[in-house]
Structure 1
Amino acid sequence: MPISSKRWESYPWKNELQLQMERAIAHGLEVLDDDFQGDHSPLDMMERAIVLSAFAIRRMVEKKLVTDAFAASKRSVRSFKAVSAAEFRPPFHGDSGGSAFSNYHFAMPVMIDMTTGELANEIIHSSQLMVVDGEAFAADGFLIASDWHLSRRVLHLSFAEFEGFVRSVLRDDVAYMSDQWNPETGRVSSARLGPSELSKLKR
């Protein structure tokens, strides 16, 4: 029986990412709607959509389906530092929230730089995934604390910022790709360039 394979492609993941981004925002808005009535829990559906969005992004980064420049670039993300270890109250394992207002200094936001892959991993590994609504310290959106940094800080993405993050991935276009194997070292290297980088090479 033959073994089938081909090159990785971005379009299945971009299609999935577009769909899940729309669902994440729609369900997030349902959470904020006091008059929402439906057969599903908006928070449950939002969690599924935002985590699947992040997984699609991580998959594209890991399989070199984005340009090298985009994968290496960083974006500023709003964060709030945690209280001291003695004051911090870990959430129950079965809860998506917890003592957020007593665990983090929401009056003192700190901007941190993260790559696309780092932000996607934070979402995938979220121990806390909450929706902030009508608060002075941040726009309506998501609060995310990963397993790795739960007791250090929580991240905040407004709905617009989350959409902008996803759309930046959707806009990234690989116009040139190469893969090479070095027989002396046994290592494989690759290059993924966007249209503007490729045009510079052709000059």
Structure 2
Amino acid sequence: MPLPPWAADPSSLLITQEEYEALPEEICKAIEVVDGRAMFHESPTPGHQRVSRNLTVALLVARPSHLCIDVLQDTDMRYRYQAGKRFTFRRPDISVLRCLEAGARLWSGDVLVAVEITSSDDEVNFNDKRAEYAAQGIPVYLIVVMDGDRVGSVEEYRLDRSGRNYQLAAVHRGTLVTELPEGMKIETSFADLERI
């Protein structure tokens, strides 16, 4: 049996920022890039998309009127440069950020809150992204844990004083009630997050 191309040449899985930007849009939407390696992801379920939409609306409503805060879904978030690391970006389900100038790209340093919506056994969101987002200095990380099409819980992580690790601040059940950076106070029931 012949070996797949990547078995003989592991560098065939590597991708540069320039190569990523030259890919067709439908391919770009299906991958994230971590340390130069393309990572493919399944399309989200309808339940996931409903929760993402409804939480985005709740976050938009919670924005303080005196500050320019934006809330984006599924937007490439490039990581700050780190010595020895290759091109890396993730695409949080929701990013709460300081407003960007027209045409600017989203960088991890712009993000105040990163939100991932996932099942309870997704190691990437619970381990990899949690460590990466903390290393990028994102102040708050919310993990919406789905049980089928229902929200089971929301885990709220806050950056600790070292600025390198997250500490579990709360596990929300039934209702998400918290104050996020820049005075964003959110209170929304899980039923509202799940509504069609």
- Please indicate, yes or no, whether the TM-score normalized by the shorter chain is above 0.5: no
Question: So what's the TM-score if we normalise by structure 1?
Answer: 0.26
Name the structure with the higher helix share.
1
> Which has the larger share of strand?
2
Q: Provide the TM-score with structure 2 as the length reference.
A: 0.26
* Larger RCO (CA within 8 A; separation ≥ 6): 1
